[in-house]
Amino acid sequence: MAELNKPVIVLVRPQLGENIGKAARAMLNFGLTEMRLVSPRDGWPNPSAGPAASGADIVLEQAKVYATTAEAVADCQHVHATTVRKRGVTKPVIGADEAGRLVHTEAGRHAIIFGPERSGLETEDVALARNILTIPINPEFGSLNLAQAVILVAYEWSRAGREMAGVDPVLVQPTIEEILPPAPQEELEGLIAHFEALLGPRGYFRPEGRAEANRRTLRGVLTKPGWNHLEVRTLRGVLTTIERGRIE
């Protein structure tokens, strides 16, 4: 599957080394090797991860550690947040099957982020994403562990790739030319920061009690369109012109 677009698996603040190892095992079963860790609770490397990986050592050896979720997905154009609820953030909701197809059909790097075992992703983590990835399970017993969630997403990505390779030609998408992929998360964060720096002194985020809600809403508006890097650059230019003031 070397020719397929492979998603980056991001584990945000994972708590147990065993779970990291089991997630690595789940990934490699379907040909995924790029794991990123955000502030693992017990540090990294973790001696408990190796035995639990059952031979998926290449995933653990290449795993990279980041201080924040934003840093872990900065080079990705598409970010999918796995969570069972929206956490107050308005985002499109997709299933694992649709996420698998999106990875293959939308150009650019895709990151799929998974939250800590006990609490799941925080609102700030979900706010980074283009959409929310959820798996429909028994509402009376919604208890997936981290490795199970990873393997479900990895399987759907693999299945979609096999179908697109010829098993199900209906899923094969026509080549889209002259359409730039969405800008990396890093550039989008720069645009959001530029908006906040311009709006803050003008009282947009007042009163204080509504400041965080207003910031989340603004982030939601700016992350929905999937602007490419030229569009982001244009918007930054517009903001810079406004900052300079009107020329008489």
CA–chain centroid gap for 161, Å, is: 19
Q: Residue 94 falls within a domain, yes or no? A: yes
Does 74 share its domain with 192? Answer: no
Mean pLDDT of 27-31: 94
Nearest to 185 by CA among 83, 69, 102, 91: 69
Does 110 share its domain with 42? Answer: yes
**Average model confidence (pLDDT) across the chain:** 88
Q: Residue 2 falls within a domain, yes or no? A: no
Number of domains in the chain: 2
The pLDDT assigned to 118 comes to 83
Does 121 share its domain with 29? Answer: yes
CA–chain centroid gap for 110, Å, is: 7
Answer with the one of 171, 198, 217 that is the final residue of a domain.
171
Q: Is 209 exposed, middle or buried (0-12, 13-18, 19+ CB in 10 A)?
A: exposed
Report the C-alpha gap between 18 and 51 in whole angstroms.
8
Does 155 share its domain with 192? Answer: no
Q: Which residue type is seen at 35? A: M
Judged against a pLDDT cut of 80, whether residue 246 lies above it is answered with no
Does 130 share its domain with 203? Answer: no
Does 27 share its domain with 129? Answer: yes
Answer with the one of 141, 171, 201 that is the final residue of a domain.
171
Does 60 share its domain with 140? Answer: yes
Judged against a pLDDT cut of 80, whether residue 162 lies above it is answered with yes
CATH of the domain at 97: 3.40.1280.10
Does 123 share its domain with 219? Answer: no
Q: Which two tokens stand for residue 234?
A: 């244009």
> Given pLDDT bands bounded at 50, 70 and 90, which one contains residue 174?
very low
Judged against a pLDDT cut of 90, whether residue 73 lies above it is answered with yes
The pLDDT assigned to 65 comes to 98
Report the C-alpha gap between 236 and 209 in whole angstroms.
28
Mean pLDDT of 146-170: 83
CA–chain centroid gap for 43, Å, is: 22
Q: Which two tokens stand for residue 90?
A: 């308005």
Q: Residue 219 falls within a domain, yes or no? A: yes
Q: Residue 1 falls within a domain, yes or no? A: no
Instruction: Please answer whether residues 92 and 126 qualify as being in contact, where contact means their C-beta atoms are separated by less than 8 angstroms.
Output: no
Q: Residue 3 falls within a domain, yes or no? A: no
Domain extent at residue 72 = 8-171
Report the C-alpha gap between 82 and 65 in whole angstroms.
19
Q: Which two tokens stand for residue 109?
A: 């790097």
Does 158 share its domain with 189? Answer: no
3-state secondary structure of 182: strand
Dihedrals phi, psi of 56, to nearest 5 degrees: -85, 50
Mean pLDDT of 218-237: 92
pTM for the structure as a whole: 0.76
Does 132 share its domain with 155? Answer: yes
Q: What is the pLDDT of residues 182-226, one digit of tens each?
A: 999 999 999 999 999 999 999 999 888 889 999 999 999 999 888
Does 76 share its domain with 126? Answer: yes
Sheet with 93-94, edge to edge strand ranges: 64-66, 35-38, 8-12, 110-114, 78-82, 131-133, 93-94
In the chain, the percentage of residues whose pLDDT exceeds 70 is 90
Q: Check residues 174 and 100 and name the one with the higher pLDDT.
A: 100
Q: Residue 211 falls within a domain, yes or no? A: yes
Q: Residue 180 falls within a domain, yes or no? A: no
Q: Give the residue carrying structure tokens 């609490």.
A: 119
Does 23 share its domain with 107? Answer: yes
In the chain, the percentage of residues whose pLDDT exceeds 90 is 71
The pLDDT assigned to 167 comes to 57
